[in-house]
Amino acid sequence: MNHPRLLNRRSLLLLVALLPLFVCSFSQAAKPKQKTILMRSGWQTVNIGDIGHTPGTLRYLEEYLPDVKVYLWLHRTTDEVTAMLQKRFPKVQIVQGKLNARGKANNPEFQQAFDEADLFLYNSGMHFNQFWPPPNYIIEACTVTKKPLVLYGQSFDGFAPEDEAKMSELLSRAAAIYTRDVESFYYLRKIGVTSPSLAFGPDGCFGIDVRDDAKASAWLKAHDLKPKEFITVTLRSNTPKIGAKKSTSMNPANPSKEDLAQNELWTKKLREVITDWVRKTGKKVLLAPEVDKEIVHAQKMILDKLPADVKPYVVNRDPFWNVDEAASTYAQAIAVVSMEPHSCIISLAMGTPTMHLASPRHGLKRWMFRDIGLSEWLFDIDADPADQFTRALLKIDAKPELAQSKVNRAMHTVNTRSKEMMGEIKEILDQQAN
């Protein structure tokens, strides 16, 4: 016959032995599945803006959703771009492949990433418009798999009238749409988009913090460009890349007379600004490419046509660069003057004043600078006189503390709204069943 005390002792020892298993089992049951985002990004590698969207949005995800796992699906990359992203974001897993409208991938690794994702984030750009086929297959894939879709910091430059009803229905399926300019917001409202969250939300590139100070400083020193003693100027021309056969509305393979006339108008104004800047300040100018094709055009249409006394003060950036080196260069400039918006964005993220000389031809994205409070640094290069650009530039140079306060104010607006967007994305994730 077993003694009661012996039974109790044996039971106690058994309980002690099994306790770790109970605790482990309870812990596993109580611990929710890690939330996962699949982000589509990296549209080109010949454009530092298209490179810059990716690290910018990844930084916001890292800062405000630190517990979320992120898969990154790059449209295009290079070894240099991939290495930069992996160095800065070692926890992010990069996947490659193709996806169809049924949510089926062309390789197991990518299929796993898509299946695991609790949310699909389509990063900043201007892909939903009439100028090229929008990626509707992603909306369809997310619909079929009941996966929330977020369109992050997008511009919507209009669909063909006969496509508006269809696109309104498709876009209304998105869990959230953030337009990087308010004009795009108004347009989506006009065509009847009813996404649960439709609001202004800045371009992801504003979050960029990748730098290559050593490489930038070495290049600047080799070309006698001293920190805070030069400006940068960025051209956007109606010209194709040398040897390109494919034509688009903004990069015509065979520029028309109107295209060429516009090129001359733009470059004439840029040459006037550069000439006035050099003669009035004695400070230098770096012709800084946002897109690789513009290096040769900046040489031929700007540098080669400058007055003899101005040319020695101007340097054309060649070869092309990665976005981290560009960011470090913009950080050392007095100001960034650009026909392209993303050099302006990178400049502001680095704390440097910027002026966007935009053409309506290049779309609604120009209005994002107005929408973050920088209307006075947004100009119409088609209509505004060059001396107006020069006056604004000289004011930045003469009153750096005032200019800096405007940069800080704009970036506070951007970062506050970006934090709110990340909070809304977390709410969408939390609504997903574990």
pLDDT tens digits along 402-413: 999 999 999 999
Torsions phi, psi for 130 (to 5 deg): -85, -5
- The strand order across the sheet containing 119-122 reads 93-95, 69-74, 36-41, 119-122, 149-154, 176-179, 197-200
pLDDT confidence of residue 369 = 98
pLDDT tens profile 305-345: 999 999 999 999 999 999 999 999 999 999 999 999 999 99
Do 228 and 170 lie in a common domain?
A: no
Extract long-range pairs of 96-103: CB within 8 Å, 24+ residues apart. 97/73, 99/137, 99/138, 99/141, 100/137, 100/141, 101/136, 101/137, 101/140, 101/141, 101/144, 102/140, 102/141, 102/144, 103/141, 103/142, 103/144, 103/145, 103/147
Angle between helices 257-281 and 294-301 (to 10 degrees): 70
The pLDDT value recorded for residue 400 is: 98
**Cβ–Cβ < 8 Å for 144, 101:** yes
Q: What is the dihedral of CA 421, 423, 425, 427, to 10 degrees?
A: -140
For residues 119-127, average pLDDT: 97
In this structure, the answer to whether residues 329 and 424 fall within a common structural domain is no
In a domain, 58, yes or no: yes
CATH at residue 174: 3.40.50.11720
Res. 51: pLDDT tops 90: yes
Residue 175, in any domain of the structure: yes
Of 290, 266, 413, nearest to 349 by C-alpha is: 413
Please determine, for residue 14, whether its predicted confidence score (pLDDT) is greater than 60: no
H helix or E strand, kind and range, residue 400: helix 400-431
223 found inside a domain:
yes
Q: 242-247 — which CB contacts under 8 Å span 24+ positions?
A: 242/293, 242/296, 244/293
What is the per-residue burial (b if ≥16 Cβ within 10 Å, else e) of 153-168? Answer: bbbbbbbeeeebeebb
352 falls within a domain: yes
pLDDT, averaged across the chain: 93
Sheet holding 378-380, edge to edge: 314-316, 284-287, 230-234, 336-338, 354-358, 378-380
- 269 with 397, same domain: the answer is yes
| pLDDT tens by residue, 67-118 | 999 999 999 999 999 999 999 999 999 999 999 999 999 999 999 999 999 9
pLDDT over 70 percentage in the chain: 91
Per-residue pLDDT, 7: 47
Mean pLDDT, range 154-164, rounded to an integer: 97
User: For residue 183, what are the CA distances in angstroms to 100, 190, 409?
Assistant: 31, 11, 22
Per-residue pLDDT tens digits for 202-228: 999 999 999 999 999 999 999 999 999
Number of H helices, E strands in the chain: 15, 13
> 253: domain CATH number?
3.40.50.2000
> Would you state the pLDDT for residue 358?
98
Question: For strand 314-316 and strand 354-358, is the pairing parallel, antiparallel, or unpaired?
Answer: unpaired
122 and 218 part of one domain: no
Residues 164 and 220 occupy one common structural domain: no
pLDDT tens-place string over residues 22-32: 544 444 555 77
Same domain, 389 and 362: yes
- Rounded distance between C-alpha atoms, residue 114 and residue 99, angstroms: 9
Q: Please report the pLDDT score of residue 6 as a whole number.
A: 47
Separation of CA 252 from chain center? 24
Q: How far is 232 from 338, CA to CA, in rounded Å?
A: 8
Query: Which residues are registered as beta bridge partners of 151?
Result: 122, 177
Per-residue pLDDT at 12: 52
* Phi and psi torsions of 246, nearest 5°: -85, 135
Does residue 22 lie in a domain region? no
Phi then psi for residue 215, to 5 deg, are -65, -45
Q: How confident is the model at residue 390 (pLDDT cuts 50, 70, 90)?
A: very high
Pair (192, 137) in one structural domain? yes
Do 312 and 345 sit in the same domain of this protein?
Answer: yes
Distance CA 361, CA 265 (A): 14
Q: Please tell me which residue, 339 or 244, carries the higher pLDDT value.
A: 339
Residue 3 pLDDT more than 70?
Answer: no
d(CA 317, CA 46): 14
283 falls within a domain: yes
The answer to whether 393 and 337 have CB atoms below 8 angstroms apart is yes
Question: What is the reported pLDDT for 17?
Answer: 52
* Residue 324, domain extent: 213-410
Residue 8 has a CB neighbour count (10 Å cut-off) of 10
H or E segment to which residue 16 belongs: helix 4-30
Q: Please, are residues 41 and 77 in contact by the beta-carbon 8 Å criterion? A: no
Tokens of 88: 């800065």
Structural contact between residues 39 and 153, judged by C-beta atoms closer than 8 angstroms: no
CA-atom Rg of the chain in angstroms: 26
Q: Are 239 and 185 found together in one domain? A: no
Are 227 and 369 in a shared domain? yes
Structural domain includes residue 373: yes
Q: How far is CA 221 from the centre of its chain?
A: 29
Domain count, the chain: 2
| 3-class SS of residue 359 | coil
pLDDT of 64 > 50? The answer is yes
Q: Residue 270: its pLDDT value, please?
A: 99
Reduce the DSSP state of residue 215 to 3 states and report it: helix
257 and 380, same domain (yes or no): yes
Does 426 share its domain with 312? no
Is residue 19 in some structural domain? no
